[in-house]
Structure 1
Amino acid sequence: MMMRSALRLAFRVNPFLLELSYFIVLSLVGFLALKLSKPRPISFKLQDLDVFFTAVSSATVSSMSTVEMEVFSNLQLIFMTFLMFLGGECFTSWLGLHLFKSKVSTRERVLEKNPKVDSLSSNITTTTTATISGQVELGLVTNNYKYYQDPNPEDAKSSVQIEIVENNFGCVRVLASVVLSYILVIHVVGSTLVAMYIGLVPTAKQVLKRKGLELTTFAVFTTVSTFSNCGFVPTNENMIAFNKNPGLLLILIPQILLGNTLYPVCLRLSIWVLERATRRPVFKQILGSPNGLGYGHLFSGRRSGFLAATVFGLIFLQLAVFLALEWGSDSIAGLTGYEKFVGSLFVVVNSRHTGESILDLSALAPAVLALFVVMMYLPPDTTFFPIRDENNNSKTKGCSPKKFSIIEKILLSPLGNLAIFIILICITEREKMKEDPLNFNVLNIVVEVISAYGNVGFSTGYSCARQIKAEGQCEDKQFGFVGRWSNMGKLILIIVMFFGRLKKYHMKGGKAWKLS
């Protein structure tokens, strides 16, 4: 009874508020877990704001850091692992799919009692009655679903809608199982490969031994962080400690792509393989109606192909620019040619959403940093190819102009909101920008804000050597640039991380503003 009441309430809540509440609650629970557990150095005391910042950064998979990672104990690393897993896009999308499955199941029971309730089933699928009828004739809809014949022969629409409900329920249930299996398999295989590599390669194993990190915790933590595209690594210097281990980097690169930019492509490919292997009609039905199952990461074959081409095209572009400008620079000095190439590939793949790095970003050329800013801003499903609107194939010519609500009229575009956040942070840190302009410059602040919005985690850091007025007590710490900000600046960046994690709800903002 309690579960049904919770589901009924969830159905009525706005999806944005529901997801925002999820991340806020997850962050608060993470804050309590990290606060109650002790850090590794017993004498070290974590500030409450830094603890909450770390919890939000883990839950929103942003990997922005205000303290060094090696201060966290093994228990705290385990708590952060759960936060990253539960906050990852693949898992949260699976939760949404599971909720949609429960929604369809609930409406199915209602329609079984009253087949004439059209209003309850009108929003379940975008597929029209004519399309479903055509699919039935072509054999795309299986006969395993019970068909309720409306006693009123004049109201054939209700019976078709009931079949749509039951058919969708079966497809969504299978799709949810595929997504969950996809997540678990990659985590198990990824953790095993990372643990095996570190256990077999002495140089990598020595890093963990020197830093006092447990192999199992490191392998699972890094895999979860990489697949969820968080970017946290239990070492202070992130992946710089492993810049001479190209094998480990090659293990992590596929996990980055499988968990984010190439997730829709690999999900569709997995379903296609299952359809070929099992010949079950339900997989064919899923592939044939990607827009009717309520799962935003299930793309059509054409769009999946364009997405894959875009992802690899952007990687090639970044790699070419990076190698041209950084091959002989100090940022990757001391590495062999092979290590430079793999390390460069690792960095450019991370620039979209993960944020793991094998070098000091502050040493990169400004042109490379500017390119990374653009890459961090782009959503994971960005496709630079003409895609016809698959949800609305009707011609828009001659349609009446769109009317905007009050909220839509005042809503700014993502770039407009980010500009406001950057201005606010420049105000809160204005004194430091005057006294320490080499560290607190606008470019470094822009990189930090866009990185938080894109939930990436790239940061230029802070260097005492760049201070104009040297501070006698200054000590270089290996955490993000935000770690040197004021408390107000940190709070603003927390808002940016939430804002970026929920970017799918405001990506079309600013439509009511006419700039020309």
Structure 2
Amino acid sequence: MAGAQRLGELLHHLHRCSSWVLGWAMSLLCSLSRAYAHHQVTERVARSRCALRSGLNSLLLHVIYFAVVSFTGWGLLSALNVRAPHARPRPIDTFFTAVSAATVSSMSTVEMEVFTNAQLLVLTVLMFLGGEVFVSLIGLGSKWYKLRRQITSRHSSQRVVSHDGIELATPPATIAGAGDEDDDSRSSMSATVVVTDEYNNSLLDAKMRRRNAVRSLFYIVLGILAVVHVVGAVAVAAHVYTTPSARQTLRRKSLDVWTFAVFTTVSTFSSCGYMPTNENMAVFVRDVPLQLLLVPQALVGNTLFPPLLAACVWAAAAVTRREDLTEVDKKGREVTGYCHLLPARRCWMLAATVAAFVGVQV
């Protein structure tokens, strides 16, 4: 009887202990989960704040850029003389035209033939500076500059740390009994320095690879921009010179051939749609070769720019076999952050979609 009572007490004691341990474990688990959830929320809020701050800075830079370009273009258009002084546009109309050209929205409240060749060149520059490809090129240049500054600052900080380490390592031990302890501390310090140097070097190598990739992509986009505009302007000018009807149309409207060629090429590539004639392209309704010359420029400056860029990156990597170009070709947006650099599969799908839609529309 006593043994059964003792066994019952032991079981009751074990039950109480297990209940206490289970409660303690549950409370510990709840506190850990709350701490983890708090850490996750804090980290998510920090990331959101950082992304919001970066987005606001980017938005502010874009607003400042387009405001400066628009006001500068408005000032130049107002300062230059028009063809007919009695038909000079109002300041608000000139400002609206400058903003429309800078934002490639192709809305105008004045006739284009009012402007002189100099004013048409100003509008050409505004359309070029406001084009999406050129704005993205500025973003690439800014990213290249930031990476170069980070690498330079990291190089200088590493030189300072190594210099301080040499200065701290020069004083000898003054206490004879502390020799072994000094040796142990020096060995641990040297091991820490080696690990830190390896980590810093790996970060520096990653930064340099990314810098080289962004730099190579910057030059490729710049080359595409230059080649398309030069070839397009030369092709349009050559067509005008070899086609009497087109040359007669420009002579009747007092338009310079090269001004017309450059203006039309920039406007077509930037998807603006301005033309230096009052009738836009309607005056060239029977000029089929000119229309066929402008169609590739419109496509390359818009939906077919990512496939063209990917093809140029692949060709440059295959010809030069440079490590940075190969990395750009394989990783693309992951290493450069350039939104127009799409994977090969998406480029093929985009090109097929464009061809299909154009075919259906025709």
Which TM-score band applies after superposition, normalised by the shorter structure? 0.7 to 0.9
Residue identity matched to 1:260: N
Aligned equivalents of 2:285, 2:307: Cα separation in 1: 29
In the other structure, the counterpart of 2:282 is 240
Q: Which runs of 5+ in 1 are unaligned?
A: 1-10, 117-148, 320-516
In the other structure, the counterpart of 2:356 is 313
Aligned equivalents of 1:280, 1:157: Cα separation in 2: 25
Higher normalized contact order (CA 8 Å, seq sep 6+, divided by chain length): 1
Assess if the C-alpha contact under 8 Å between 1:77 and 1:217 holds in 2.
Answer: yes
In the other structure, the counterpart of 1:206 is 248
1:285 aligned to 327, 335, 340, which one?
A: 327
User: Superposed, which structure 2 residues align to 1:176-325 within 5 Å?
Assistant: 176-291=218-333, 292-319=335-362
In the other structure, the counterpart of 2:180 is none
User: Superposed, which structure 2 residues align to 1:76-91 within 5 Å?
Assistant: 76-91=119-134
Assess if the C-alpha contact under 8 Å between 1:150 and 1:159 holds in 2.
Answer: no
1:15 aligned to 31, 40, 58, which one?
A: 58
In the other structure, the counterpart of 2:50 is none
In the other structure, the counterpart of 1:344 is none
In the other structure, the counterpart of 2:78 is 35
2:146 aligned to 103, 114, 125, which one?
A: 103
Aligned equivalents of 1:114, 1:297: Cα separation in 2: 35
In the other structure, the counterpart of 1:483 is none
Q: CA deviation at 1:235?
A: 0.4
Greater mean alpha carbon deviation, residues 107-116 or residues 235-244: 107-116
Residue identity matched to 1:236: N
Q: Within the alignment, does 1:44 sit opposite 2:79 as a pair?
A: no
Q: Which runs of 5+ in 2 are unaligned?
A: 1-53, 160-190
Report the secondary structure of 2:195's partner residue: coil
Aligned equivalents of 2:145, 2:99: Cα separation in 1: 29
In the other structure, the counterpart of 2:156 is 113
In the other structure, the counterpart of 1:463 is none
Aligned equivalents of 2:71, 2:265: Cα separation in 1: 24
Q: Within the alignment, does 1:160 sit opposite 2:202 as a pair?
A: yes
Aligned equivalents of 2:91, 2:110: Cα separation in 1: 12
Q: CA deviation at 1:12?
A: 10
Q: CA deviation at 1:308?
A: 1.4
Aligned equivalents of 2:347, 2:220: Cα separation in 1: 17
Assess if the C-alpha contact under 8 Å between 1:55 and 1:83 holds in 2.
Answer: yes
Aligned equivalents of 1:213, 1:150: Cα separation in 2: 72
Q: CA deviation at 1:282?
A: 2.2
In the other structure, the counterpart of 1:464 is none
Residue identity matched to 1:58: A
Q: CA deviation at 1:284?
A: 1.1
- 1:303-336 Cα offsets, whole Å, 9 max, x none, are 21222122222222333xxxxxxxxxxxxxxxxx
Aligned equivalents of 1:39, 1:150: Cα separation in 2: 72
Pick the structure with greater CA Rg: 2
* TM-score (ref. length: structure 1): 0.52
Assess if the C-alpha contact under 8 Å between 1:115 and 1:159 holds in 2.
Answer: no
Q: 1:166 to 1:154 in 2, by over 3 A?
A: closer
Q: 1:179 to 1:315 in 2, by over 3 A?
A: same
Residue identity matched to 1:297: H
Assess if the C-alpha contact under 8 Å between 1:115 and 1:162 holds in 2.
Answer: no
Q: CA deviation at 1:85?
A: 0.8
Aligned equivalents of 1:55, 1:188: Cα separation in 2: 24
Q: CA deviation at 1:272?
A: 1.2
Residue identity matched to 1:169: R
Q: CA deviation at 1:157?
A: 4.3
Q: RMSD of aligned C-alpha atoms?
A: 2.0
* TM-score (ref. length: structure 2): 0.73
Aligned equivalents of 2:296, 2:356: Cα separation in 1: 16
In the other structure, the counterpart of 1:499 is none
- 1:371-407 Cα offsets, whole Å, 9 max, x none, are xxxxxxxxxxxxxxxxxxxxxxxxxxxxxxxxxxxxx
In the other structure, the counterpart of 2:188 is none
- 1:424-446 Cα offsets, whole Å, 9 max, x none, are xxxxxxxxxxxxxxxxxxxxxxx
Q: CA deviation at 1:297?
A: 1.0
- 1:152-196 Cα offsets, whole Å, 9 max, x none, are 426754432211100111111111111111111111110000000
Aligned equivalents of 1:157, 1:310: Cα separation in 2: 46
Assess if the C-alpha contact under 8 Å between 2:268 and 2:297 holds in 1.
Answer: yes
Q: How many residues align?
A: 277
Moved over 4 A (4+): 154-157
